[in-house]
Amino acid sequence: MANVIELKNVSFSAQDSRKIVQDVSVNFAEGKMTAIVGPSGGGKSTVLKISAGLLVPNSGEVLYQGKNITHMSRSENLDFRRESAFVFQDSALWANQDLYQNLELPLRIHYPKMEKKEREKRIKEVAVMSDYKKDLHVRPARLSMGEQKLVGFARAMLCNPSLLYLDEWVESLDETSAEILINIVKRKRKEGATVIFVCHDMRIVIELAEQIVVVVDGQVTANAPKEALIRDLHTKDFLKVEETVS
């Protein structure tokens, strides 16, 4: 199975020079669902954002289908952005735009010739699909954190991505909404999408993941198929994760 994303000896430091990720090398197979787990503050979300090209590592390489993402041409980068989508832990909606404008932006960027009526139809479809059924012409500040998460998820679905990055995407949601989004992710996986996600809820990890990458103190301490990692009850770092989220 081909690797769609590869991290090679990647390191990343904060502005205060504190190392957050240290010499991480990990591959994410095409069409597979991979969970990144580990203790809070251990570097999980940073690894996810580096994999998505949202953070540029201080050293090392990030490859998308074998191409270093920092060396892509503008058209190659646009293709990568259209094929991939990121659901942020805090939703990351533009505060100075209403929800409709937030959702419209990806379509304007990636499908500039799409007609207004078609954009409206697609926006309404993904909003309802993602369980957001309220007014789209309000600013994000009018919404609860859970509602913002639904809109953030809807935005990620607009261009029907084949590579999906999820950072605690069901946190702050009620059980019904969480189940709806989990089922959408399952359907994307069945359609052949590659899914890389961070989640502290091990029940969701066990349900969804095929591969598990354990990140502790900025380093990958385990990377194995879910069944193998769970079966190895003596894997110290995995047990540490379970203790953290229990």
> Residue 216: which CATH number?
3.40.50.300
Structural domain contains residue 11? yes
Residue 239 has a pLDDT of: 46
> Residue 37's closest CA among 235, 221, 228?
221
Structural domain contains residue 104? no
Cα(87)–Cα(97) distance, integer angstroms: 18
Query: What are the start-end ranges of the E strands in the chain?
Result: 3-13, 19-29, 33-37, 59-64, 67-68, 84-87, 163-167, 194-198, 211-216, 219-225
Structural domain contains residue 55? yes
Structural domain contains residue 177? yes
Cα(173)–Cα(14) distance, integer angstroms: 30
Distances (CA, A) of 226 to 48, 111, 238: 18, 38, 11
Cα(91)–Cα(188) distance, integer angstroms: 20
Structural domain contains residue 107? no
Q: Encode pLDDT of 70-82 as tens digits.
A: 999 999 999 999 9
- By the 8 A CB rule, do 150 and 177 touch? yes
Count of domains observed in the chain: 1
Task: Give the domain extent around 28.
Answer: 3-92+162-245
Cα(207)–Cα(226) distance, integer angstroms: 10
Structural domain contains residue 28? yes
Cα(84)–Cα(79) distance, integer angstroms: 9
Q: Encode pLDDT of 43-60 as tens digits.
A: 999 999 999 999 999 999
- By the 8 A CB rule, do 10 and 50 touch? yes
Cα(30)–Cα(26) distance, integer angstroms: 13
Residue 232 has a pLDDT of: 65
Cα(241)–Cα(130) distance, integer angstroms: 29
> Residue 38's closest CA among 218, 178, 182, 169?
218
Structural domain contains residue 126? no
Structural domain contains residue 176? yes
- CA 58 vs. chain centroid, Å, equals 21
> Residue 45's closest CA among 67, 73, 12, 18?
12
pLDDT in tens, the chain (246 residues): 689 999 999 999 988 778 899 999 999 999 999 999 999 899 999 999 999 999 999 999 999 999 999 999 999 999 999 999 999 999 999 999 999 999 999 999 999 999 999 999 999 999 999 999 999 999 999 999 999 999 999 999 999 999 999 999 999 899 999 999 999 999 999 999 999 999 988 889 999 999 999 999 999 999 999 988 877 644 445 545 444 443
Residue 15 has a pLDDT of: 80
